[in-house]
Structure 1
Amino acid sequence: MSVAPHPAVVLGHRFADELPEMAVPWRAEEAPDPRVLALDEELAAELGLDPRWLSGPGGARFLVGTAVPEGAAPVAQAYAGHQFGGFVPRLGDGRALLLGELTTTDGHVRDLHLKGSGRTPFARGGDGLAAVGPMLREHLVSAAMHALGVPTTRSLAVVATGRTVQRETPLPGAVLARVAASHLRVGSFQYARATGDEGLLRRLADHAIARHHPAAADAEHPHLALFEAVVAAQASLVARWMLLGFVHGVMNTDNTTISGETIDYGPCAFVEGHDPAAVFSSIDHGGRYAYGNQPAIAQWNLARLAEALLPLLHEDQERAVELAVASLDGFRTGYESAWTTGLRAKLGLPDDLPGADWEPLAGEFLDLLRTHRADHTATFRALGAAARGDDEPLRLLVPDAPALERWLGRWRALGPDAGTADRANPLYTPRNHLVEEALSAATAGDTGPFERLLDVVRAPFEQRPGLERYASPAPPDFGAYRTFCGT
């Protein structure tokens, strides 16, 4: 049965209009029986959409892309990318569509993008579909990241399609409706550069400036200023990941955004026992995207963006390379600044404390975590209790009593503030065993555990009675954790 979209929904198509070489007009596959499984009502309201309508039949068909407003121009986006270090010149939205752009109630432009909406010309042999579990994972983890204050794409909704998806076993199908500042990525610029069309590359850069970094337009060298703005945004983003113990899992250049938002929550996870070598992705056999490697990989990805932008930086290639290298150096300083600022807050220490007074102590604390595989989230959170005089939670997590006592004495001498530590250290993150429990139940038709976990991670700093299991590490029998892309 055909269901018309809500007449008030207006979807712009600026990307498709300005960059037609990178936009293939396409339509979503029909979904036999779409039903909304999860909806972010707060985000819907920000987008000027009626949550009640979105939850109904018309909204469900809109969210899977089979009923789009008049005038909309859905497209599959073209981009390239380095995947695990190997360059692929033509990736693109193999199972996704950019439905168009919405304007929020406060005037910001946001992409509305579907994932799992069917095969496109970029599908490369894939079925173009997605299963309920991986799409609910993205909904859950992106909601948690947003609540934690991390720049992120956000999931508006997950809609069951009524179609079976064949993976290792038959699974219920779903479509994710994702909202982002845009879906421009390093791979977008790699694609434009690979075409050899400098005019396209220039239009893409100007589009990115207007969309994300408008101050660059007034700079003496706008395209160099664009690159520097992306470097700064990514440095800040990855520092936030590291402070929280978040492992992205698939930091390919096509997953490195120009906006500085986190994108693609496929094989992601949060570390529990603190370990720089932590890897969760089933396909990251060499540990390229391990927790501790993420800053270096982000800088490597930005170097690939610099290479793509070289024709716009200077007509003389040698000079262009010099400019790019000098600007790329800003990643290290930007990352270190964001990391040290965040780490000082996590330790509950005053803003004006000189680095020489506290940074060696911070390094010793991280060494204790690494040596004892102490739970990253719980150990940092226990610092608030320790600042109030209760050391017992820390003692349970770091069993080396003499070393911990020495450290605590020196730390207390610096005047840590419990409130500062509590505000910087979440109590609840999407713990891996709880995520798997919730997704398994939802795949089997019971969304209760998922909804409870979602409610918990949406208020990650607020201690609530009865939620102790959500702040506890995985039981010993949970075993080594592995995540999968879901394709």
Structure 2
Amino acid sequence: MTLRIALDNSYARLPDRFFARLDPTPVAAPGLVRVNAGLARDLGIDPDALAGAEGLAMFAGNWVPEGAEPLAMAYSGHQFGHFSPQLGDGRAILLGEVAGRDVQLKGSGPTPFSRRGDGRAALGPVLREYIVSEAMFALGVPTTRALAAVTTGEWVMRETALPGAVLTRVAASHLRVGTFQYFAARGDIEGLHILADYAIARHDPGASHRSFFEGVVRRQARLVAQWLSLGFIHGVMNTDNCSISGETIDYGPCAFLDTYDPAAVFSAIDYQGRYAFGQQPRIAQWNLARLAEAMLPLFDADEQKAVAYAEDALGGFAPEFQGAYGAAMRRKLGLATSAPEDAALVQDLLTLMAETGADFTLTFRGLGDDVVPEGFEAWAARWRDRRASEPGWQALIRATNPAVIPRNHLVEAAIVAAVEREDFSVFEALLAATSRPFDDADTAVTAPPLPAQRVTQTFCGT
């Protein structure tokens, strides 16, 4: 079967300083782990053809299909608050676009931006990103998606030798806050104009530079509100991991909360708690302030006027976030309408959960069966009074609060089985369960971890 894929690469038509052209580095013995058949069909590609020899060769970087113009994108970024003027795709190659969506290989070999890295990815982080990004999609969260995962037949050296893999990622685009910072850091105003106009054409056709920025603010505010409503921690919200499109991108040390704790940190390198669960709205706004700084010359030729506009536009983040977060949390309580006491009702529940170490997902899911943890009775009486005017409360709770999330210990179990035993059945079973997050499921995938199973740190590595 011949693979037919209509690739284009509009980014390759931008000036050369936006990227480095290069082909992926071929691998020794590629093996197919999985093709995302549903996503393939959405992109207008035959999934059976993708699972064939040509698809495998493309996913591994051993074959570049017609229409692709492989490149590594240039960008900068604040990493844990410290600015790096040049980062860029150090282990990723953008092949092009299909149906308006970027197709990128992660782990496809070194690039001019690799900074002495090997450009490869280990199998574990590839499987983590596949599982979590697809779970986020099933939960209704804007996200990049996994089109395929393949093994390379080669080893990569980290703390030890690990099997290598390549993830094929699909995104609305791979433009980041750090992409704008790259040109601003170089005083390249022409480059900023070109980049902004390109981003507008991709994401906000017809927008001005100002209204485009306001759109980014809105998208990020709504995205982080969804993260918090689901107990999701990104882990490393550097500006180079902040997508202009408003999609969740770069699943490195990400995690879902088991016990509720606003100070929870899962990244093994986040020593100061900069990216703790409860810090995510503040960091998102901080990142947007860095985008505003980069875009100042596009807002107004008069710097004072540009700064005044930027401050005003950034002021829109908090009400947008609070509105989206408040609505999401009301729905989690089965409340389709708004009442003055709702904010306190939500916060008092979260306070109780933090004090008692309640499981985030199961506490909210249990409300659909009118079940609350021991010690929550006084709160539950207030909630029952409030929900009395909400005839559809139970259905709303069950449609809003997942029963199944990719719990950290389950993801780790899938990785261990694949890496240590070449057993991908655990990975497949978890993917199947998390693709239907709002369905009742076996306790094997809904129960919180036992103390010995808890995963408290996750790592970058894709």
- Report TM bin, short chain: over 0.9
1:33-432 map, 5 Å = 33-103=29-99, 109-216=100-207, 222-351=208-337, 353-354=338-339, 356-386=340-370, 391=371, 394=372, 398-400=373-375, 402-415=377-390, 417-432=393-408
Q: Distance in 1 between matches of 2:310 and 2:15?
A: 25
Among candidates 434, 458, 461, match of residue 483 of structure 1: 458
Q: Tell me which amino acid in the other structure corresponds to 2:418.
A: A
Contact 2:408 2:454 in 1 (8 A): no
Contact 1:26 1:75 in 2 (8 A): yes
Contact 2:348 2:379 in 1 (8 A): no
Contact 1:19 1:204 in 2 (8 A): no
| Gap runs ≥5 in structure 1 | 104-108, 217-221
Contact 1:35 1:57 in 2 (8 A): no
| Match in the other structure for 2:21 | 25
Cα deviation for residue 6 of structure 1 reads: 4.6
Which string of whole-angstrom CA distances, capped at 9 and with x for unpartnered residues, describes residues 242-298 of structure 1? 000000000000010010000011100001111000000000000000000000000
Q: Distance in 2 between matches of 1:67 and 1:85?
A: 39
Q: Distance in 1 between matches of 2:411 and 2:276?
A: 20
- Supply the RMSD in Å over aligned alpha carbons: 1.5
Cα deviation for residue 459 of structure 1 reads: 0.4
| Gap runs ≥5 in structure 2 | none
Contact 1:78 1:91 in 2 (8 A): yes
Q: Tell me which amino acid in the other structure corresponds to 1:68.
A: V
Q: Tell me which amino acid in the other structure corresponds to 2:202.
A: R
Q: Distance in 2 between matches of 1:236 and 1:79?
A: 24
| Match in the other structure for 1:443 | 419
CA pair 401-12 structure 1, distance change in 2 beyond 3 A: closer
Which string of whole-angstrom CA distances, capped at 9 and with x for unpartnered residues, describes residues 77-107 of structure 1? 000000000000000000110011111xxxx
Which string of whole-angstrom CA distances, capped at 9 and with x for unpartnered residues, describes residues 160-217 of structure 1? 011111111211100000000000000000001122121110010000001001141x
Q: SS in structure 2 opposite 1:118?
A: coil
| Match in the other structure for 1:106 | none
TM-score, L = length of structure 2: 0.97
Q: Tell me which amino acid in the other structure corresponds to 1:468.
A: T
Which string of whole-angstrom CA distances, capped at 9 and with x for unpartnered residues, describes residues 211-242 of structure 1? 001141xxxxx111110000000000000000
Contact 1:365 1:407 in 2 (8 A): no
Cα deviation for residue 369 of structure 1 reads: 0.9
Which string of whole-angstrom CA distances, capped at 9 and with x for unpartnered residues, describes residues 368-410 of structure 1? 1111111000000011101xxxx3xx2xxx3315544544454
Q: SS in structure 1 opposite 2:27?
A: coil
Q: Tell me which amino acid in the other structure corresponds to 1:363.
A: Q
Q: Tell me which amino acid in the other structure corresponds to 2:289.
A: A
Q: Distance in 1 between matches of 2:73 and 2:380?
A: 56
Q: Distance in 2 between matches of 1:408 and 1:193?
A: 50
Q: Distance in 1 between matches of 2:143 and 2:107?
A: 19
Stretch moving more, 50-59 or 121-130: 50-59
Cα deviation for residue 113 of structure 1 reads: 0.4
Q: SS in structure 1 opposite 2:368?
A: helix
CA pair 182-480 structure 1, distance change in 2 beyond 3 A: closer
Contact 2:330 2:336 in 1 (8 A): yes
Q: Tell me which amino acid in the other structure corresponds to 2:75.
A: Y
Cα deviation for residue 8 of structure 1 reads: 2.3
Which string of whole-angstrom CA distances, capped at 9 and with x for unpartnered residues, describes residues 134-183 of structure 1? 00110000000000000000000011011111111211100000000000
TM-score, L = length of structure 1: 0.92
Q: Distance in 1 between matches of 2:111 and 2:57?
A: 19
Cα deviation for residue 21 of structure 1 reads: 1.4
Contact 1:361 1:411 in 2 (8 A): no
Contact 2:196 2:209 in 1 (8 A): yes
| Match in the other structure for 2:439 | 462
Contact 1:133 1:439 in 2 (8 A): yes
Q: SS in structure 2 opposite 1:214?
A: coil
Q: SS in structure 1 opposite 2:215?
A: helix
Aligned length: 460
Q: Distance in 2 between matches of 1:72 and 1:339?
A: 40
Q: Tell me which amino acid in the other structure corresponds to 2:443.
A: E
CA pair 15-401 structure 1, distance change in 2 beyond 3 A: closer
Q: Distance in 2 between matches of 1:486 and 1:165?
A: 11
Q: Distance in 1 between matches of 2:336 and 2:52?
A: 50
Q: Tell me which amino acid in the other structure corresponds to 1:303.
A: A
Cα deviation for residue 414 of structure 1 reads: 4.9
Q: Distance in 2 between matches of 1:409 and 1:124?
A: 57
CA pair 51-224 structure 1, distance change in 2 beyond 3 A: same
CA pair 412-17 structure 1, distance change in 2 beyond 3 A: closer
Runs ≥4 residues deviating over 2 A: 5-8, 401-416
Q: Tell me which amino acid in the other structure corresponds to 1:461.
A: F
Q: SS in structure 2 opposite 1:155?
A: strand
Q: Tell me which amino acid in the other structure corresponds to 1:154.
A: R
Cα deviation for residue 360 of structure 1 reads: 1.5
Q: Distance in 1 between matches of 2:347 and 2:233?
A: 20
Contact 1:6 1:69 in 2 (8 A): no
